Amino acid sequence: MAQAQAGPSDVPVGTGPAAPGEALTLHASCVAWGGRALLLAGPSGAGKSTLALAMMALGADLVADDRTVLRATGDGLSAEAPAPIRGRIEARGIGILAAPAVGPVPVAGLVDLARDETERLPPDRRTVLLGRSIPLVLRVRNAHFSAALIQFLKGGRVA
């Protein structure tokens, strides 16, 4: 299976190898399920917090909202909230809500909310952050996107 290299529109991509512990603060929200985190990246107003809230309603845990600290680990990345915003998420039109937060959590992938998926069965896309390659998912505009992302965290992608 061919792997398409693609980077989210506002995420630093292709950075060289990082030493374990090296950190980057990303403009992204992050949720987790079963000890696996999913970064939700995109520009302001792209729906990062909205998607995080939808996934939390299905049982996901909040890691961070709007800004996520990534750290290089031995062969991957971990995600956690910056201390000042830990346990907080914005609900547009309602306000800042309190939510239990988890982290640090190993990163399982990144969703780019700035680009729409056009393929029914897309290629295996990857992006590189802090020198670590992770799966990349583009936005799907349908009602089951949040549920499909929960399943991605539970079982991964097989094709």
pLDDT, tens digit, for every residue of 9-26? Answer: 445 544 566 777 789 999
What is the average per-residue pLDDT within 61-69? 98
d(CA 99, CA 111): 21
pTM for the model: 0.88
Kindly state the tokens that stand for 141: 């505009």
Residue for token pair 């583009």? 138
- CB contact set of 61 (below 8 Å; sequence gap of 6+): 31, 32, 33, 100, 101, 102
Instruction: Please state the domain extents for the chain.
Output: 19-154
Distances (CA, A) of 67 to 49, 71, 75, 108, 158: 11, 13, 22, 17, 30
Q: 3 falls in which pLDDT band (50, 70, 90)?
A: very low
For domain 19-154, give its CATH number from 3.30.465.10, 3.40.50.300, 1.10.287.610, 3.40.50.880: 3.40.50.300
Mean residue pLDDT across the chain: 91
